[in-house]
Amino acid sequence: MQEASTTKTQISAGRLRVGTSGYSYPEWNDAGFYPPGTPAKEMLALYAKHFSITELNYTWYQMPKAAALERMLPKVPSGFGFAAKLTRTMTHEIDPHGWRGQVAQFREGIAPLVQAGRLTALLAQLPAAFQRTEENRRYLALLLDALNGLPVAVEFRHRSWAEERVFAELQKRRVPLVAVDVPDLPYLFPSLDVVTNPDLFYLRFHGRNAKGWRSGDMQKQFDYLYTSAELQPWSQEKIPRMAAQARDGIIFFNNHVRGQAPRNAKMLAEQLGVQSP
């Protein structure tokens, strides 16, 4: 199939940055993004030659440690930004009695990025099982209260949260709703271009591998390569609309399998006219 021609979109308002969800993947050596044999400790510095921001995924799996984040800062240029994913014990495996302590621990761990002015956003990604019930609404409100002062953005996975009243509450709190590009599955949050914070919009591309999402296998779930034509509705229409409503925008590709995320991030950046570092 012939791809549509690429036309750059000029977005003058604010600052737009494109990157990937995570950067430390051994398979990216084989995929050609990093030189063969590149050790994990050298990947961030090499990544920063291509992109000006990254999303830290490892902080979802384990609580961030201040010393580890402190060591990251000298590896990247002064203008490089980080988004960090909230640890799963506050989003997926919630302890009703211990989550406040988890928030305090997370704040302590993430402090070097905050103090250096490098934490662009804190991603609270809620699973598809987190549906819009009274109990979950109450918990989310309490969580956002506890994270007050941090640049929190919320990503919903379940369609039940796609409600104007939800968007209005996020807007009231100045919390960005994370826009997503996902497969068209009945339960998933739809691909909307709603902006709820005039300071920042946040967009994540997860790929459109519906079969992979249904399988529950994360390697299959994020195994997808966008075509130029598939990205153009975002670059030509949706992202310009979002950029017109927010001062800054950050965009991440989560289709990390086989090095597809950096390929697509560069493709979208080219369509948007976003300059590499």
State how far the Cα of 18 lies from the Cα of 210, in Å rounded to an integer.
24
114: how many CB neighbours lie within 10 A of its CB?
16
pLDDT at 204: 98
pLDDT at 7: 43
> In which residue are the tokens 């691909």 written?
191
- pLDDT classification of 12: cutoffs 50, 70, 90: very low
Q: Are 5 and 270 in contact (CB under 8 A)?
A: no
User: Is pLDDT above 80 for 9?
Assistant: no
pLDDT at 3: 36
- pLDDT classification of 201: cutoffs 50, 70, 90: very high
- pLDDT classification of 276: cutoffs 50, 70, 90: confident
Q: Where are the domains of the chain?
A: 15-272
Residue from 82, 149, 152 nearest 117 by CA = 82
Topology annotation, domain 15-272 = TIM Barrel (3.20.20)
Query: Do the bridges between strand 248-253 and strand 200-205 make them parallel or antiparallel, or are there none, so unpaired?
Result: parallel
Spatial CB neighbours of 245, under 8 Å, sequence gap ≥ 6: 195, 198, 201
User: Is pLDDT above 90 for 80?
Assistant: yes
- pLDDT classification of 11: cutoffs 50, 70, 90: low
Residue range 87-113, pLDDT digits in tens: 999 999 999 999 999 999 999 999 999
Q: Are 268 and 18 in contact (CB under 8 A)?
A: yes
User: Is pLDDT above 80 for 237?
Assistant: yes
State how far the Cα of 247 lies from the Cα of 196, in Å rounded to an integer.
12
Q: Residue 79 to residues 23, 116, 193: CA-CA distances in angstroms?
A: 17, 10, 27
